[in-house]
Amino acid sequence: MLINRHGPASVIERLDRNEQVDPSEYYFRTALVFETASPKFGHSNLSFI
């Protein structure tokens, strides 16, 4: 899974220091990635955004 955090640099720095940050100050974006060698599930070799 890929995760991107977006917000002001000061907020990201506080998150990196494991400080409490109000969730309204930033947001996360995720993308699920599935990969398989099985032909039966080959349709799953793609990303869900």
* pLDDT for res 3: 60
* pLDDT for res 7: 82
CB 11 within 8 A of CB 25: yes
Q: Domain residues of the chain, as ranges?
A: 2-48
pLDDT per position as a tens digit, 2-45: 566 778 889 989 988 999 999 888 877 777 777 778 778 776 66
Compute φ and ψ for 44, nearest 5 degrees. -85, -5
* pLDDT for res 14: 92
What pTM does this model have? 0.49
What tokens does 36 get?
Answer: 């398989």
CB 5 within 8 A of CB 15: yes
Q: How far is CA 5 from the centre of its chain?
A: 7
